[in-house]
Structures are given as C-alpha cells and as structure tokens.
Structure 1
Amino acid sequence: MSGTIGKESFKHVSYLWDDAKAAELAGDEVALLLYRSNLLGADLRLTNYGGGNTSCKAIAKDPLTGLDTEVMWIKGSGGDIGTLTRSGLAALYVDRLRSLEHIYRGLEQEDEMVELFNHCIYDLASKAPSIDTPLHGFLPFKHIDHLHPDAAIAIAAAKDGKRITQELFNGEIGWVGWQRPGFDLGLQLRQCLAENPGIRGIMLGSHGLFTWGDTAYESYVNTLTVIERCAEYLEANYGKERPVFGGAKIVATPEADRKKQAAALAPILRGFCSSERAMVGHFTDDERVLEFINSNDLERLAPLGTSCPDHFLRTKISPLVLDLAPDADLADAESVKSGLAPAFEAYRALYKEYYETCKHPNSPAMRDPNPVIILYPGIGLFSFSKDKQTARVAAEFYINAINVMKGAEAISEYTALPRQEAFNIEYWLLEEAKLQRMPKPKPLSGRIALITGSAGGIGKAIARKFVQEGAVVVLNDLNAERLQSTGDEFKTAFGKDAYATAVLDVTNAEQIQQAFDTAALAFGGVDIVVNNAGLSISKSIEEHTQQDWDLLYDVLVKGQFLITQAAVNILKKQAIGGDIINIVSKNALVSGPNNAGYGSAKAAQLHLSRLNAAELGAAKIRVNVVNPDAVISDSNIWAGGWAEGRAKAYGVTVEELPAYYAKRTLLNEMILPDDIANACFVLVSGLMNKSTGNVLNVDGGVAMAFVR
C-alpha cells in the first residue's frame, strides 16, 4: 500500500502509482517490476528514452533441480523501461552471476565478462543481458532502479558533486566516481554500500543514480523522493548567484519567424549532414533550447559536450553552433551554403582529430564525422540521424544535457567527461557489436517523400509502400477530414515518427509552400516527390465547359508544375539528388472518346515530365513517369461522374467497367493502387538511380499505350 505518500508530495516528478493496479499484480514480482519500470519510463524527467535499467530479485524454481533459487530479472540490452515487457527482460541466476567474481581478471579484460553472463542465464528465452547487469547483481536489494534523471546528473556532473551529494542527503546517498559501466563498477557499488551501511542510493559521477527498495513500491517511492530532492535543490539555486546561463545574449526571435527561418535552412543543413549517407532531420525550438542557445554561456558550454554516456552516444560529443544571425537572409541558398561550408569542414576535422588522438589499436573505424546536433542561436536546435525517431530522440537527449548543464552551473560548475573517456564509450567494442547487430537498413531508409493526394487511393498506397520500405512521408490532401483519418491510420500502423500531414491544394501556392515547410521542419527536407493529386472529367466535346477545362489543367498540369518547382528548390538546397515521379495515365498516349480535357492534360503532364528530366539531370534529380490505367479502388478519379462518363463512352454499365478494363488488357488483369505503389518503389529503390525520363506503364498491357 502507498500509505501517506501521494502525488501531492511531488512537484518535480510524476507520482503515477495506482494501488488498485498494483494490487492486481501482487505476488508476481516480475509483473510489479514491469509496472514500476513503465511508470518510471513514462516521465522523461526521470530518465531518457532507452536509458537506465530496472531489476528485481525473487525466488523461483530451478528447472533442473526443482529447488528454490534466487533469480534476477533486469532490463535486457537495448530496451526502454517505458515500454518494457517480459520479452525485454534478461533473467539470471544470482549465485552464478556473483560467482563470476572468482574469474574476473580486472579492468583490462572487462569486456570478456559480458559473454560469461550467458553462463548465468535462467530463462532460455531471456533477452541478452546488458553491461549494467553486475551493477544490479552485486547489490542485495530486491528491487533496484538505475536512472538518468537530469536533476541527479546535474549534481553528478558538477565540479564538486560528491560534496554536494553528501551535504544534500546527509550521507544517505553514496558516491562512486566516474567509471565506464561494467563488472568492476558493480564491485565498486557493492563496496560503497559496505562502507556506507544504511544508504538509500548511490550517485554515479557524471552518469546517473542508483536507488532501491525491498518492494517494487518502496523502490519507486525512494527513486521519486531522491530525484525530487535533487530537483528542489536545483530550483532553489537557479539565478541565485548569477543569471541562468549567464543571462540572455540575444533576444528571442518571434515563433513564426523562427519556424520560417528553420524551414528555409533545414534542407541546406541536411545536405551537409548527408555527405556520407542520407539523414533525416528534426527541429525543435523548445523553450529550454532557446534559453540555452540565446545565452551568454553558449559559447563556453556547448564545446564541452555532454557528460552522461547515454547523452553523447546519441548526440556525439559536442554540437555544431552556427555563426549565423537569426534574421540572416537565406534566399540565396548557394551563398548560404558557401558561408556555412567552412563550419562543417572544421567540425569534421575536429571529429577526425578526436578520433585519431583517442583511438586504440583495436578501435572500430571512424564513423560519420558530421554533427548530429546543430544549434542556431535565436532559432532552435536541428538534429540529424539515420531516421526520424533517432533524430528526435537525439534532440530530446540534448535537451537532457542542457538541463544538466543548467543545474550544474546553478550549484557549482559543469564538468564534462574527458575526451578519452568519452571516446572509450563511443567506440567501445561492445557498443560496436551492438551496432553490428542492428537490422540492415531498408531500401528507403533516410529518404523523405511527399506524395500529393495521399489520403486515399493511389496516393495512400504509395505512401504506405514507401513507409514500409523505410521512408518517412508527408501525407497531404485537399480534404482535411480525409487527411486526418489517414494520419490516424498511419500513426496506428507505423508510429508518430513515420509521417507528417499538411492540407494541400496543388493549385494554391501558399499551401504548397506550407507543405514543403512542413517537410523541412518535420524531416529536414525532401528526396522523393510524387505528383499524384488529380481529378477526372469525362464529357463529349460539346458538353465540355471552359470551367471543366480550366479545372483539369489547373490541377493536373499547373499543379504538377508548381509542386515540381517547389520540390526542385529544396532538392537543389540539399544537393544530394532526388526523385520526382509523375503519376500520369495511359490516356496521355491513347486517344479515346469523351476525353478531350483529361486526355490532353495528361499528355501535357507527360511532356512536362520529359522537359523536367532533361533540365534537372545535371542536379542528379531524376524525373520519371508511371502510367496507370483504370485504377478503380478507393480513387477520387471515379468521383464526379467519371465512371458514368467512361461507361457511357464504352457502352457498358458502371458495374461492368472493372471487368471491361481488365479484358481489354494483354494480361487480362485489374489494376490496383498497390500496383502503382510498387512501380513507384521500383523507380526510387536505388536500383534505378541511373534512369530518368522514363515512362513505366502499369496498365495490364495496353498496346496502344506502348511508348516504343
């Protein structure tokens, strides 16, 4: 039971424990471990995504002897406590784990112990044990939390953090100085406890916090209470001796101007950061970021880098700070790129020097030397990584680092890890092995796609296919309600990081700019643009109105022109090439009745594609065409009387149209949205990077539509 403790006891952390829910889990220590872990992971003030670990020890039956034995369940390697499930736990015999001390050969052979953890596995379906396993195993407590709370790390990373910890907690929290996680650190935790009996936790210098309890609830409350005390202490000291971060150096730029400037600059930054592989970006102008980047202390603190290993593993050792006025004119992209190029060259050179100075004979090869975090004073923070989630999480981690610097500076002086210690973490062979175990990137990993009219039919099928193959997409549609529904569908299927949305009328220049700004702010730019939005009108020449004609040409031809024009602006800023696919039609090549407006507009789309391919090849921008025919499923093309018009033209009923279209093809096949999506994927998959100006027919085989 929770006793007198409740959420009202905490101001700086979230008390989420539910007695009724916990009562349902009573007697199942592993279930209570998972419950506690998920609550802790739900509050980013307690630990960052994927950071820290939790454990419990309980008595279980040995499957070989049938005797009771003590087993430790702990978060496995690479997991996240906020989403932890049983399948993410490692389970080990406690006595076997502790017996490894007898064969431990010291710090120089530290890494060999990780493989020996496998001899201690209790559950054969266990997740791989993490490097932190002995840190929990050598402590006697039933439930243990190891977290990376900003408030605690601020003290742990302060110049005199050990003294502050001692005074703040009256000796109830122990201190173990910085050391890379591993077997020896577990032994040091045990020694700290032996030398300080009765302590309720241990602060790890520059790293994080260990807390514990005899029950899941006691551990939970102890953890919250210690972090709350740290946060209270920091709050009481903010601005006490000097203004936070030395006070503001520049005045904050208005939000609308920040977003506009960030959208204009993001593709240029993405181009620089994608010099070795395509990166996806993230932008935030969170108030905590602005307080830091607009401050007098930015120039001093930013180069120091981060302290907590989890932070710099995600963010690199230090950020790139742009020497660019918040109101700089970004209209001339080439001039801006020329101005920024030396800063990126210098960053890469510094990273190479860091690698060459700190590397060991067996160190892995140097990784991408481009920055992950880019700070633009007055505007915000950009992060770039292999995918959207990793870029977003990197930004979140750097905000954690900002919080740590803010707290440490308020109570003392912030200290970062020595460069050699940081390198030893970043290029740790165990970390490298973890990277090597990562799944092979999908074909469209790192690619950003904007597909017009992607809330239904062909457009949605293309967007879905691209996400399945690793891309992120900007969903858009003229119909806001339909767009919302599709966004919800994609969130359920792929998660929030797979897509962004923008209401878009392809004839509206302002909405087009907003859609591409959305792509830049959400993902850093765009690589693939699919001109898919369309409509159809089938009437005889006598019945065709001028209004019909103008609508067809505005949406199909002018829309393709305007979208392509906006796309080229971003693609050239990035200077890493790209793809434009135009969804045209068999009707661009085949003459038929009641089709003067639609057919001629499609022909204009096709030739405009050829013209663009000829012009844009020098910039490595490929322009290709997919020519579908009679894609009936979930398509707007069949609205507005088109189906009736085509049925009338061919002398069949509307119900007979699908079979009619299939029978007139050489393959006798109906064409579905997924067929068009597959064709688009073929063109952008990387296997067709030397092809442009092509027409790919997806019509079941219509001889009259053959291009050659």
Structure 2
Amino acid sequence: MTETLARQRLENLWDDARTASMTEPEKLLYRSNLLGSDKRVTNYGGGNTSAKVMQADPLTGEQLEVLWVKGSGGDIGSMKMDGFSTLYMDKLRALKGKYRGLAHEDEMVGYLPHCTFALNPRAASIDTPLHAYVPRRHVDHVHSDAIIAIAASVNSKELTAEIFGGEIGWLPWKKPGYELGLWLEKLATENPGMRGAVLESHGLFTWADDAKDCYLTTLEIINKAAAWLEDRTAGEPAFGGAKVPTLDASQRRDIAARLMPVIRGLISKDRHKVGHFDDQPAVLEFVGSNALETLAPMGTSCPDHFLRTKIRPLVIDFDPANPDLDATIAGLGDAVAAYRDDYAAYYDRCKHPNSPALRDPNAVVYLVPGVGMLTFALDKATARISGEFYVNAINVMRGASAVSTYQGLPEQEAFDIEYWLLEEAKLQRMPKPKSLAGRVALVTGGAGGIGAATAERFLREGACVMLADIDRAALKTAHEGLAASFGGDLVRSVQMNVTDETQVARAYAEMAVEFGGIDILVSNAGIASSAPIEETSLALWNKNMDILSTGYFLVSREAFKTFRAQDIGGSVIFIASKNGLAASPNASAYCTAKAAEIHLARCLALEGAEAGIRVNVVNPDAVLRGSRIWEGEWLDQRASTYGTDKDGLEEMYRNRSMLKRSVLPEDIAEGAYFFASDLSAKSTGNILNVDAGNVQAFTR
C-alpha cells in the first residue's frame, strides 16, 4: 500500500515533565500543536481540539465550566492561546432550547457569540457543537489520511467495525453543524465505552477525560487504521499500476516551466494567480496510474480537502510516452474553457435561490501525467497548501480504492459546502488584498542595497519575489533576511550572471516552476567604473556594456517571452542612473552604457504596449548606503574626481543636489513600486529621476 499512509507509526511526543506545571488550557495548546505538526494527523488548518475547563467567572468569581475550542480559521499546528474560542458550557447547553430543527441549523451560529466567556474576541467555529456536546472533557477532531481512506469507502461503516470493533463508532455523512453535534452527543452518550467515532467522508473524533489520554487515543486510532491498511494492501500495485512512464526530474521541471505561465495567463484575466509545482512520489504515482481517469473526476471526499481543491482537478492532455508539449500547450485554452463551462453547469445544477453568486470557475489543481501536479491560487501559500490538501486526497483515494470502492462527496453536498452561506460570510470578512497580491517579481542585483530594498517594498505589498544576483554569499544573506521577515513562501533566489544567456533563461524557468510566471522585472544588476577616456581599456568598456546594456537586454528579452505566453501584461523597470542623462567626467563607459539602458527601455515600451507590457525607468543618483557598486575602486575613483575623501563623498553629493537631501535605497524602491503597481497603469516609456534634484538630468 501507500508509503505515505504506512510509513513509520506516529510516535508519542508527549513530555510529562514539560506539562507537569501547565494549566488545562496550556495542555490543550500543547496537545493541539503536537497533533497539528504532523500532516499524517491532519492537514494545515484542518481539524480542531477542545477542553472543558473549570474557571472563575470574571463577574461573580464562581467556578464555571468553560469550553476551550479552536476558533474559526485557525491551524492547530501553529496556533497560540489566542486561537481558542472560550464559551460558557451552561449557555451552550441552553442553546438546545433554541434549536428549531435541521432546516434552521445555520441560525445557531448566530447564537454562539452570546455564549462567549470573558469577552474573548476569537470567533467560534461551526464545529463548536461537536465538541461541546460530547460528554468528555477533551475532544480531538483530525483528518488523518488513513482514517479518511476508511471514511471515504462505500462500506465505511463495516470497515470501521472490522478495524476497531465497538471502541470507535461511526456516523453517516452529514454536513458539519449543529445537527451533527447532536448526533455525536447521542452516539457518545448511548455508548459510554466508545473512545471516538469515524464520520463518513469526513474524519475522526476521539475523546477522553484527560488531555494526555486524548492525545494518545488519537495516535493509537490513526496508527491502528494505518497498520490495517498496510496489511490489507501489501504487495498490491497502487491505483491499478502504472499506465504511463514517469519522466526524470529535470524533464518534469522543464515541462512545468513551459506549462505554468500559459495556464497562469489563462486563469488570471480577472485576478492574478500564483502557482506551485509538486512532483513528490505520491503525486507521480497517481498521475501516471491506470486509475487517474476514473478517480480524478470523482473529486475529494473530506470537506476540508474539497474547499481547498474545488469540485475536481483538471487533467492535462499530455502523454509522457510520446510527448508533444507544443500540442499540449496549444490545447490548454480549450481545456481551461471547458473546465469553466463544466463548473458553471455544476453551479447551475446545484444552486439554491439564495446561493452566493458564481465564484471563480477555474480549476485549482492541474494534473499532468508523468510530470506532477500544478496548483494555482491568489497567493503562494494558498497554492502550496491546496497542493498539500490534494496530496491528502490522493492518499485517501489510494487507500479507499485498495480496500473498497472510493466515493467522493455527492455533487449537491459538495456544492452546499462550497456555497454555504456561512462560508460566504467568512469569505466576505477576508481583508482586502494588498496592491501587489498575486504578482511575481524578478529583481536582478537583488542582493545589493537597491535590489534588496525594492524586494522588501514589493513583499510588503504582497508580491512574490525572485532575487537574482551573481554574488552567491550576498544572495544567500539577502534571501534569508527577507524570508525571515515575510515567510519562505514569498521569496526565492537564483544565482545568475545577467550576461550569460543560459543562466538568464534558467532563472526564468526556475521562476516559472516556483511561482508560475512573472509580472514585474526590476533590472537592477550593475557595476560602476571611473577612468579618463585615454585610460579606459577596451576590457573596461566592454564590461560596462556587457552588464549594463547587454545584461538588461537579455533579462528583458526573457521577460517579454513569458509576458507574451501569459498574455496578461507586465511591467519592466530599469534602474538606470542620472548619468544616463547627464554626462559625468571620467566615466564615459558607465555613462554611455546607462544611456543605452534608457534608450532600450524606450524601444521596449514601443514593442510591449500592444500587449499591455509597460516599460519605465528609475534614475537614481549617488545612492551610497548599502550599494555594492560603491565598494572598492569606484568609491576611491569618484572621491578623487571630486577632490574629497570617502567620508566626505556622500555629504558632497547631498549638497550638490537641489533639495540638499541624500538619496537612499528605499527611495529608489519607492519609485520602482510606483511603476510596478497599478498606480502607474497608464504610464509607459517614462523616466522618474530620484536624485534629490539635478538640473542637468531634467528630461526635456
């Protein structure tokens, strides 16, 4: 059977010494973090945990029973104490008197705030009744792949009884909510010896009267299910065996790099999406199998899987045994359009009079035989997590189809969850997206002062950033610093010499695989040199031209290729120099190369306009702080030219400016952000001087 389900058993990580002095809420958090840290137990954001605790009422001081339960939208693996909702148990029990039956169960969510203990602002989740009414102090609800493989089988009730006997009960499929909470209470009350229950097509509930016992019960039940699946499927080929070959790793990435920008463009007409590529063994086993065409259209079973991955994936028409990638790419437009039409038809079949309007009809998951899985979402983290959820779904389908017959959620049930009014209300409460959300930027010279400042500015606005630089050590430092501040999902880096065609093309391929494409190019890699013309060697002249002219051409040419494959526009920003407009003594090679940059930008603005590709220039002057071009000879040479020393050079530049102000890397980053964002949506072919005022550089 499955390596994923059957790999080493879950270990008991509970530390008695650590928990000895903990309060019950602290033990609940500890237990939650332990369970949520292992994807074999539950997926990101999935499941919930609770404890019923005696606490003093803040008004009366009376000891009352309080339910601590994971609040809405949290993740048990990473949550802190403020991630729990707290509710009076006596008020939750009183809610039973307000319940008007199944047709009105959604209204019960509106009563939960009236049960809040100690004015806790954390909103209670829809699963609160499932924890409140189980007559045990501690309850865990998780989405283990091994358990859901049983729960998603057509005979899940019989399999549950076979594996667990009477210690674990079973309930048929029911959408999460108040009614299901009453069902679970009845099951637990009428069967006091039960330690938990499998919920059909959903997951596992376990309970106990001690925090550690509850944790250990959860591990034990999952391990028992995984062992049973392993025994039943030993030696059997997963998914009916392989139908097509799996390509080698480099071929898989090359194909993903070609496919992803095209798909991204097709599905980003309204809002930009970010992509994620996954070719782990579980994915490759599924996408290359005989069962792909049967199982993929059935969709997922667990509601948490479904909400992240949509009704079903889109299987790309690609034959790794006889690959014709050009033909596959040519057919993507029709495939994406057909998926959208199918999704709209699903919406029309299942909608209710009060259903929310049709949402984005594009697929989230794209399966490529022999290659892997592509996922797209409005941000990188969501795209990655959606892929993780579909891997969970693959594991479930593998297990269920090996021991029984797999069943996805019935279409109407799936729709009623996806377009649940309570789910819609949650979506409406989401914060407004940042200005560069869904955008992908490449910053060359990304380890330098201006490059790193520009990357940081973009990241603050929600962009994904690929840093490129020739200096491996500096690149590593810049990458690690930005990832620590903004999260690893948003930042990637690639060592690249902008004068090397092969390296430039490879960097764009890496960016396509990591993020799905590109929207913003900040061409910033640079050097500086100073010498009188008679002392300017051909090698020095060519070095300036190679990096500052040819290098800008090469990275722009690759950007245009991807922009045109995506067909959703783009923005190119050249970080040139005041010296491209205003001549400077003893710097003919540098000034000429910078002037070439500016004119190249004008030419590209003409070529790109019809495709919505904007090209603009930011001209800095004398940005000394953090800039690596001011290290070494250039600093000495410019100081000598102007008759000052190193310490006096920045002051000299400040006083030379009309505004008498120093220009910092953050100032250039702000100019780059203006041209990258929709603030400048109607600007192309423009030059923005960020030089504190230099009359020689006025553009006229």
Q: Would you say same fold, with TM above 0.5? A: yes
1:125-274 pair list within 5 angstroms: 125-238=120-233, 243-274=237-268
Post-superposition shift, 1:491? 1.8
User: 1:13-63: per-residue Cα shift (whole Å, max 9, x none)?
Assistant: 2432222222242xx000000000000000001000000100001110111
Give 1:590's aligned residue.
Answer: 582
Structure 1 residue ranges, 4+ long, deviating more than 6 angstroms after superposition: 327-331
1:110 aligns with 2:105: yes
Give 2:553's aligned residue.
Answer: 561
User: 1:187-224: per-residue Cα shift (whole Å, max 9, x none)?
Assistant: 00011113322101011110010001211110010000
Post-superposition shift, 1:122? 0.7
Higher mean C-alpha displacement, 13-22 vs 606-615? 13-22
Give 1:676's aligned residue.
Answer: 668
Task: Give, as a single letter, the amino acid of the residue that structure 2 aligns with 1:549.
Answer: W
| Whole-angstrom CA distance in 1 between matches of 2:324 and 2:447 | 32
Task: Give, as a single letter, the amino acid of the residue that structure 1 aligns with 2:19.
Answer: A
Secondary structure (helix, strand or coil) at the match of 2:536 reads coil
Post-superposition shift, 1:456? 2.3
| Whole-angstrom CA distance in 2 between matches of 1:576 and 1:468 | 23
Post-superposition shift, 1:330? 7.0
| Whole-angstrom CA distance in 2 between matches of 1:705 and 1:613 | 21
Task: Give, as a single letter, the amino acid of the residue that structure 2 aligns with 1:477.
Answer: D
**Given the two structures, how large is their TM-score scaled by the length of structure 1?**
0.96
Out of 274, 279, 288, the residue aligned to residue 285 of structure 1 is 279
1:346–1:184: structure 2 CA closer, same or farther, 3 Å change rule? same
| Whole-angstrom CA distance in 2 between matches of 1:608 and 1:107 | 67
Give 1:686's aligned residue.
Answer: 678
Post-superposition shift, 1:336? 5.0
Task: Give, as a single letter, the amino acid of the residue that structure 1 aligns with 2:317.
Answer: D
Task: Give, as a single letter, the amino acid of the residue that structure 2 aligns with 1:22.
Answer: T
| Whole-angstrom CA distance in 2 between matches of 1:421 and 1:229 | 30
Query: Where in structure 2 are there 5+ consecutive unaligned residues?
Result: 1-5
Give 1:12's aligned residue.
Answer: 9
Out of 535, 538, 547, the residue aligned to residue 530 of structure 2 is 538
Is contact 1:305-1:312 (8 Å) kept? Answer: yes
Is contact 2:470-2:495 (8 Å) kept? Answer: yes
Give 2:449's aligned residue.
Answer: 457
Give 1:312's aligned residue.
Answer: 306
| Whole-angstrom CA distance in 2 between matches of 1:327 and 1:405 | 25
Is contact 2:499-2:551 (8 Å) kept? Answer: yes
Task: Give, as a single letter, the amino acid of the residue that structure 1 aligns with 2:383.
Answer: A
1:475 aligns with 2:467: yes
| Whole-angstrom CA distance in 1 between matches of 2:122 and 2:438 | 28
Task: Give, as a single letter, the amino acid of the residue that structure 2 aligns with 1:121.
Answer: T
Secondary structure (helix, strand or coil) at the match of 1:70 reads strand
Post-superposition shift, 1:260? 1.1
Post-superposition shift, 1:327? 6.8
User: 1:62-104: per-residue Cα shift (whole Å, max 9, x none)?
Assistant: 1122111100100000000001111111000111101100110
Post-superposition shift, 1:510? 1.9
| Whole-angstrom CA distance in 2 between matches of 1:391 and 1:537 | 44
Task: Give, as a single letter, the amino acid of the residue that structure 1 aligns with 2:686.
Answer: N
**Given the two structures, how large is their TM-score scaled by the length of structure 2?**
0.98
| Whole-angstrom CA distance in 2 between matches of 1:672 and 1:364 | 49
Secondary structure (helix, strand or coil) at the match of 1:44 reads coil
Give 2:348's aligned residue.
Answer: 356
1:640–1:544: structure 2 CA closer, same or farther, 3 Å change rule? farther
Give 1:46's aligned residue.
Answer: 41
Is contact 2:196-2:207 (8 Å) kept? Answer: yes
1:491 aligns with 2:483: yes
Task: Give, as a single letter, the amino acid of the residue that structure 2 aligns with 1:579.
Answer: S
Give 1:94's aligned residue.
Answer: 89
Secondary structure (helix, strand or coil) at the match of 2:436 reads coil
Secondary structure (helix, strand or coil) at the match of 2:339 reads helix
Out of 270, 273, 287, the residue aligned to residue 276 of structure 1 is 270
1:346 aligns with 2:343: no
| Whole-angstrom CA distance in 1 between matches of 2:584 and 2:479 | 37
Secondary structure (helix, strand or coil) at the match of 2:626 reads coil
| Whole-angstrom CA distance in 1 between matches of 2:78 and 2:377 | 22
Is contact 1:326-1:376 (8 Å) kept? Answer: no
Is contact 1:264-1:330 (8 Å) kept? Answer: no
User: 1:538-587: per-residue Cα shift (whole Å, max 9, x none)?
Assistant: 11112211111111111111100010111111111111110110000000
Higher mean C-alpha displacement, 404-413 vs 648-657? 648-657
Higher mean C-alpha displacement, 654-663 vs 402-411? 654-663
| Whole-angstrom CA distance in 2 between matches of 1:586 and 1:336 | 47
Post-superposition shift, 1:261? 1.1
| Whole-angstrom CA distance in 2 between matches of 1:10 and 1:245 | 18
User: 1:662-702: per-residue Cα shift (whole Å, max 9, x none)?
Assistant: 11212111000000000111112112112110001100111
Is contact 1:450-1:530 (8 Å) kept? Answer: yes
| Whole-angstrom CA distance in 1 between matches of 2:321 and 2:684 | 39
> How many residue pairs are counted as aligned between the two chains?
695
Is contact 1:107-1:184 (8 Å) kept? Answer: yes
1:173–1:296: structure 2 CA closer, same or farther, 3 Å change rule? same
Secondary structure (helix, strand or coil) at the match of 1:81 reads coil
User: 1:290-335: per-residue Cα shift (whole Å, max 9, x none)?
Assistant: 0000000000000000010100101101000011223776775xx6
Is contact 2:245-2:320 (8 Å) kept? Answer: no
Out of 405, 416, 438, the residue aligned to residue 413 of structure 1 is 405
Is contact 1:285-1:381 (8 Å) kept? Answer: yes
Is contact 1:626-1:696 (8 Å) kept? Answer: yes
User: 1:168-188: per-residue Cα shift (whole Å, max 9, x none)?
Assistant: 111111111111111111000
Post-superposition shift, 1:528? 0.3
Is contact 2:318-2:328 (8 Å) kept? Answer: no
Percent identity over paired residues? 52
1:616–1:336: structure 2 CA closer, same or farther, 3 Å change rule? farther
Post-superposition shift, 1:592? 1.6
Secondary structure (helix, strand or coil) at the match of 2:20 reads helix
Give 2:316's aligned residue.
Answer: 322
Post-superposition shift, 1:636? 1.3
Secondary structure (helix, strand or coil) at the match of 1:374 reads strand
| Whole-angstrom CA distance in 1 between matches of 2:456 and 2:667 | 12
Query: Where in structure 1 are there 5+ consecutive unaligned residues?
Result: 1-8
Give 2:415's aligned residue.
Answer: 423
